[in-house]
């Protein structure tokens, strides 16, 4: 077993931090490490929180941590901010907001920005979640900013996806457009101290009537005021209920299997791409100048690259 995997197994926090850096930097040992920790997976409750910038996700995460710690539950947090210029560092605001938890050994917080993830942000995030699970946190919270395709992709690893909305924000239209409605397991109306709650509630219900009218599970709507610590009990109860539903219905198991299936493809995709790219780098990207000068079409360039890669492969085998 990889030395880091063993140390993670014995709850060595520094080993976990080191392993996450391996994942971010696409370290040569990465796949070996992930292979070894796979059998250590403990099936924490993976909870994703997504929503528009400033919706209050970090404030909610912060309050949830406190709530969970009171029940002796341990918590891992991955905050994903593609715009963060800090590689592997915390987003300044989150650092301040969650700082009360930094000295607590039952809490582990990690922020991910694009710069610190050579394996692609979605991949890096999922691998980090896997590492945290192997370490053995009870709950793993994944915060992603925004409601686009890459957030949806990251969220595929979550058991429960909570979408955070605000009254008076026009969020609902965006949610509908982005296909979030289909994947949301729970809606949080945060900033419920602001005007417009009944309107948002009404819009959400109409949309749920439309999209989920014959679905086996109807996502609940929870109101919170995270800055006043209100609604957190109910939020946690609903999150737990969803997990029970997943277990009861068998949906949880099939989601996990789908997620693993997806990961197989992602890893192959990434590793292949890396090989091809390294080959092109060694060759000095010979097609680039011609494509830029309009002398070669992109399809011919792509085929040239693939043919070269295939030829190399045969060369290696023979």
Ligand X SMILES: Nc1nc2c(ncn2[C@@H]2O[C@H](COP(=O)(O)OP(=O)(O)OP(=O)(O)O)[C@@H](O)[C@H]2O)c(=O)[nH]1
Q: By CB under 6 A, name the binding residues for ligand X.
A: 51, 53-59, 93, 145, 190-191, 193-194, 225-227
Contact 46, 78 (CB under 8 A): no
> Binding partner of residue 55 among Mg ion, ligand X, none, CB under 5 to 8 Å per kind?
ligand X
Measured distance CA(107)–CA(112) in Å, rounded: 17
- Smallest distance, ligand X to C-beta of residue 151, A: 11
- Smallest distance, ligand X to C-beta of residue 167, A: 10
The pair of three-digit structure tokens given for residue 233, joined into one six-digit string: 């009990």
- Smallest distance, ligand X to C-beta of residue 91, A: 7
> Binding partner of residue 37 among ligand X, Mg ion, none, CB under 5 to 8 Å per kind?
none
Which three-class secondary structure state does DSSP give residue 53?
A: coil
Query: On the CB side of 191, how many CA atoms lie within 13 Å of its CA?
Result: 18
Residue nearer to Mg ion on the CB measure, 45 or 57: 57
Number of other CB atoms surrounding residue 217 within 10 Å: 13
Residue nearer to Mg ion on the CB measure, 143 or 203: 143
Helix and strand numbers, DSSP H then E, in the chain: 14, 7
Contact 134, 33 (CB under 8 A): no
- Smallest distance, ligand X to C-beta of residue 52, A: 7
- Smallest distance, ligand X to C-beta of residue 158, A: 16
Residue nearer to ligand X on the CB measure, 59 or 160: 59
Residue nearer to ligand X on the CB measure, 58 or 128: 58
> Binding partner of residue 144 among Mg ion, ligand X, none, CB under 5 to 8 Å per kind?
none
Residue nearer to ligand X on the CB measure, 94 or 127: 94
Instruction: Write the DSSP string, 144-199.
Output: EEBSSHHHHHHHTT-SEEEEEE-TTS-HHHHHHHTTHHHH-SEEEEE-TTSS-HHH
Beta-carbon contacts of 257 under 8 Å, excluding residues fewer than 6 positions away, are none
Measured distance CA(235)–CA(67) in Å, rounded: 10
Residue nearer to ligand X on the CB measure, 172 or 225: 225
> Binding partner of residue 211 among Mg ion, ligand X, none, CB under 5 to 8 Å per kind?
none
> Binding partner of residue 100 among Mg ion, ligand X, none, CB under 5 to 8 Å per kind?
none
> Binding partner of residue 130 among ligand X, Mg ion, none, CB under 5 to 8 Å per kind?
none
Contact 113, 81 (CB under 8 A): yes
Closest CA to 132 of 267, 269, 23, 31: 23
Binding site for Mg ion (CB under 5 A): 57-58
Residue nearer to ligand X on the CB measure, 95 or 262: 95
> Binding partner of residue 197 among ligand X, Mg ion, none, CB under 5 to 8 Å per kind?
none
CA-derived radius of gyration, the chain: 22
- Smallest distance, ligand X to C-beta of residue 106, A: 21
Measured from each CB, the residue nearest to Mg ion is 58
- Smallest distance, ligand X to C-beta of residue 49, A: 8
């Amino acid at each position: 077993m990889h030395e880091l995997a063993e140390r993670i197994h014995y709850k060595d926090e520094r080993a976990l931090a080191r392993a996450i850096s391996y994942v971010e930097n696409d370290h040569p040992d990465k796949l070996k490490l992930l292979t070894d920790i796979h059998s250590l997976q403990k099936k924490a409750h993976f909870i994703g929180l997504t929503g528009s910038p400033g919706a209050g996700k970090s404030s909610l995460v912060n309050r949830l941590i406190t709530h969970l710690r009171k029940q002796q539950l341990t918590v891992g947090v991955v905050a994903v901010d593609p715009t963060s210029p800090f590689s592997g560092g915390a987003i300044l605001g989150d650092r301040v907001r969650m700082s009360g938890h930094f000295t607590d050994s039952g809490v582990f917080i990690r922020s991910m920005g694009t710069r610190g993830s050579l394996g692609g942000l979605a991949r890096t995030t999922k691998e980090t979640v896997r590492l945290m699970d192997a370490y053995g946190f009870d709950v793993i919270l994944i915060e992603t900013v925004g409601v686009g395709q890459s957030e949806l992709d990251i969220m595929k690893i979550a058991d429960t996806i909570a979408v955070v909305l605000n009254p008076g924000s026009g969020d609902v239209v965006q949610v509908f457009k982005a296909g979030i409605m289909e994947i949301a397991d729970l809606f949080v109306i945060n900033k419920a101290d602001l005007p417009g709650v009944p309107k948002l509630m009404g819009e959400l219900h109409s949309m749920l009537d439309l999209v989920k009218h014959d679905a086996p599970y109807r996502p609940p709507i929870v109101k919170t005021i995270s800055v006043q610590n209100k609604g957190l009990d109910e939020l946690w109860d609903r999150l737990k209920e969803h997990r029970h539903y997943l277990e009861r219905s068998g949906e949880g198991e099939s989601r996990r299997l789908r997620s693993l299936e997806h990961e197989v493809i992602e890893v192959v995709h990434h590793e292949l791409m890396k090989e091809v790219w390294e080959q092109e780098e060694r060759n000095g990207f010979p097609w680039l100048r011609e494509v830029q000068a309009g002398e070669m079409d992109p399809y011919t360039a792509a085929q040239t690259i693939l043919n070269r890669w295939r030829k190399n492969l045969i060369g290696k085998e023979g």
